[in-house]
């Protein structure tokens, strides 16, 4: 059922292949338990071999999917060595020197080692959120389950002589119980992670302009509010740059809307590259863009705007005829005190208007400051 549930999720989210691997993991786990209880026509030993092979493949797929989901490098070599050596030892104690107890030990130790590999990879990101922390703890518990529980039960109850003894033992009872609990808990955590992925993607879509690939107005305002709050608490300077493509309507009329879309996408790509990850770049209107620059004063923001202006006006845009150039005008304002985003944008917009009015393809600055309210003290009598 869990395998089918992850398969359905993957059918709706083909861009997340880890869901398909999770579906395979739980399907193999189900096959492993089935082959434990039903003997195939080929005989008991091959059936047990298939059962434990399914368990090893299931554990390997589960660890690989969890690690891949969080963007960590999947430890293929470690998984391969542990699973391969575990199955090789299992085959030795199944076909060459039959010993049920040692078969139980080598398979459980292999699965425990694979679980601890997942814990080692998740350790780096365990503080990223509750889901990551939960999966890290579950990976540790799974490793302890395979190592500690197996040793404790075998030491307490002695070696197993036959599968009848195995299935009647506390080892098998605890294995079924803990496997069910861990499987369900891990599955619920992964379902939560998948739901968070969907919510994150939806939020990104609502905050991203589809044409330019940068933030839309709503996304820019939310991100800017966060940056202004952080910089305000730390006492860091912040500057805002507004940009407007010159004669954009005429460009659309002359070369077509498709060319205009390419111009917007090209300009946005240059803004995003120049802004980097610290700042926020957004398309806040048809051909109007905004960039919030933390740790930048008015002079630094002016250099930023001048560099973009010179670089963009000197380059060619894909989709426009050779020799066709597109320019932009810029307005720059630096934050004063605890000034909010809207007043800062109004001042930058006034500077942008001056740049458009005075010939375009230029940068203008706002030297204005918010008005300071003075409280007059009453004159002393006498």
pLDDT of residue 182: 86
Asked if 87 and 187 sit in the same domain, the reply is yes
Q: Is residue 212 part of a domain?
A: no
Domain boundary among 162, 184, 207: 207
pLDDT of residue 382: 39
pLDDT digits (tens, 9 = 90+) for 331-347: 999 999 889 999 999 99
What's the domain count of the chain? 2
The confidence band for 368, taking pLDDT boundaries of 50, 70 and 90, is: low
pLDDT digits (tens, 9 = 90+) for 105-145: 999 999 999 999 999 999 998 888 888 899 999 999 999 88
pLDDT value at 374 more than 80: no
pTM score over 0.75: no
pLDDT value at 358 more than 90: no
Instruction: Report residue 325: phi and psi, to 5°.
Output: -125, 145
Domain boundary among 207, 242, 260: 207
**Per DSSP, which regions of the chain are E strands?**
238-245, 280-283, 288-294, 328-334, 363-366
Query: CA triplet 129, 5, 18: central angle to 5 degrees?
Result: 55
Q: Is residue 55 part of a domain?
A: yes
Q: How far apart are CA 302 and CA 241, in angstroms?
A: 8
Q: How far apart are CA 173 and CA 177, in angstroms?
A: 6
Q: How far apart are CA 34 and CA 50, in angstroms?
A: 10
Q: 117 near 131, Cβ under 8 Å?
A: no
Cα 29 from chain centroid (whole Å) = 28
Interval 143-153 mean pLDDT? 89
Q: Is residue 380 part of a domain?
A: no
Asked if 195 and 221 sit in the same domain, the reply is no
Residue 367, helix vs strand vs coil: coil
| Residues β-bridged to residue 239 | 293, 334
Number of DSSP helices (H) and strands (E) in the chain, helices first: 14, 5
Average the pLDDT over each of 68-72, 79-83, 311-315 and give the range with the smallest value.
311-315
pLDDT of residue 369: 56
pLDDT of residue 180: 83
Asked if 129 and 243 sit in the same domain, the reply is no
DSSP annotation string for 80-102: HHHHHHHHHHHHIIIIIS--HHH
pLDDT value at 165 more than 90: no
pLDDT of residue 246: 93
Average the pLDDT over each of 7-16, 308-317, 370-379 and give the range with the smallest value.
370-379
pLDDT digits (tens, 9 = 90+) for 271-300: 999 998 889 999 999 999 999 999 999 999
Asked if 248 and 275 sit in the same domain, the reply is yes
The confidence band for 160, taking pLDDT boundaries of 50, 70 and 90, is: confident
The range of the structural domain enclosing residue 125 comes to 2-207
Query: Quick one: tokens of 315?
Result: 């380059």
pLDDT value at 377 more than 60: no
Average the pLDDT over each of 79-93, 197-211, 321-335, 350-364 and give the range with the smallest value.
197-211
Asked if 15 and 65 sit in the same domain, the reply is yes
Asked if 193 and 311 sit in the same domain, the reply is no
pLDDT of residue 379: 44
Could you tell me which of 29, 59, 31 has the C-alpha nearest to residue 47?
31
Residue 54, helix vs strand vs coil: helix
Instruction: Report residue 366: phi and psi, to 5°.
Output: -105, 115
Pairing, β 280-283 against β 288-294: antiparallel
Q: Is residue 68 part of a domain?
A: yes
Asked if 201 and 224 sit in the same domain, the reply is no
Query: Quick one: tokens of 6?
Result: 């992850």
Cα 277 from chain centroid (whole Å) = 15
pLDDT of residue 156: 81
pLDDT value at 372 more than 70: no
Q: Which CATH number is 271's domain given?
A: 3.30.70.270
Q: 121 near 65, Cβ under 8 Å?
A: no
pLDDT value at 381 more than 60: no
The confidence band for 375, taking pLDDT boundaries of 50, 70 and 90, is: very low
| Residues β-bridged to residue 331 | 242, 364
CA diameter of the chain: 116
pLDDT value at 378 more than 90: no
Query: Quick one: tokens of 37?
Result: 């209880």
Q: How far apart are CA 266 and CA 123, in angstroms?
A: 40
Average the pLDDT over each of 233-237, 309-313, 316-320, 342-346 and give the range with the smallest value.
316-320
Interval 342-369 mean pLDDT? 90
pLDDT digits (tens, 9 = 90+) for 27-70: 999 999 899 888 888 888 999 999 999 999 999 999 999 999 88
Query: Quick one: tokens of 274?
Result: 């120049």
Sequence-separated (6 or more) residues with CB below 8 Å from residue 337: 370
Q: How far apart are CA 163 and CA 38, in angstroms?
A: 12
C-alpha dihedral sign at 304, 310, 313, 316: negative
């Amino acid at each position: 059922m869990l395998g089918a549930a992850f398969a359905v999720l993957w059918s709706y989210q083909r861009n997340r292949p880890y869901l398909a691997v999770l579906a395979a993991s739980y399907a193999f786990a189900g096959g492993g338990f089935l082959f434990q209880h039903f003997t195939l026509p080929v005989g008991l030993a091959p059936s047990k071999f298939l059962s434990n092979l399914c368990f090893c493949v299931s554990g390997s797929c589960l660890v690989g999917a969890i690690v891949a989901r969080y963007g960590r490098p999947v430890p293929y070599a470690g998984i391969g060595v542990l699973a391969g050596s575990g199955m090789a030892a299992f085959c030795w104690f199944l076909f060459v020197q039959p010993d049920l107890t040692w078969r139980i030990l080598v398979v459980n130790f292999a699965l425990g080692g694979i679980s601890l590999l997942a814990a080692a990879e998740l350790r780096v990101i365990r503080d990223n959120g509750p889901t990551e922390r939960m999966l890290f703890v579950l990976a540790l518990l799974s490793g302890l389950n395979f190592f500690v529980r197996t040793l404790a039960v075998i030491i307490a109850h002695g070696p197993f002589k036959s599968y009848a003894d195995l299935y009647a033992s506390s080892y098998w009872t605890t294995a079924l119980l803990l496997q069910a609990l861990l499987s369900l808990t891990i599955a619920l955590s992964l379902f939560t992670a998948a739901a968070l992925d969907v919510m994150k993607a939806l939020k990104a879509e609502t905050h991203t302009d589809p044409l330019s690939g940068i933030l839309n107005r709503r996304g820019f305002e939310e991100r800017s509010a966060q940056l202004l709050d952080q910089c305000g608490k730390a006492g860091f300077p912040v500057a805002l740059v507004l940009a407007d493509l010159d004669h954009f309507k005429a460009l659309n009329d002359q070369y077509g809307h498709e060319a205009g879309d390419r111009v917007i996408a090209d300009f946005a790509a240059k803004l995003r590259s120049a802004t980097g990850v610290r700042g926020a770049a957004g398309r806040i209107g048809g051909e109007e863009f905004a960039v919030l620059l933390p740790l930048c004063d008015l002079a630094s923001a002016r250099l930023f705007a001048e560099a973009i202006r010179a670089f963009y006006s000197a380059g060619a845009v894909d989709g426009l005829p050779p020799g066709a150039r597109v320019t932009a005008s810029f307005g720059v304002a630096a934050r004063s005190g605890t000034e909010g985003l809207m007043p800062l944008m109004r001042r930058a917009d006034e500077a942008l208007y001056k740049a458009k009015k005075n010939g375009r393809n230029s940068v203008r600055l706002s030297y204005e400051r918010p008005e300071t309210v003075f409280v007059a003290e009453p004159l002393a009598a006498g």
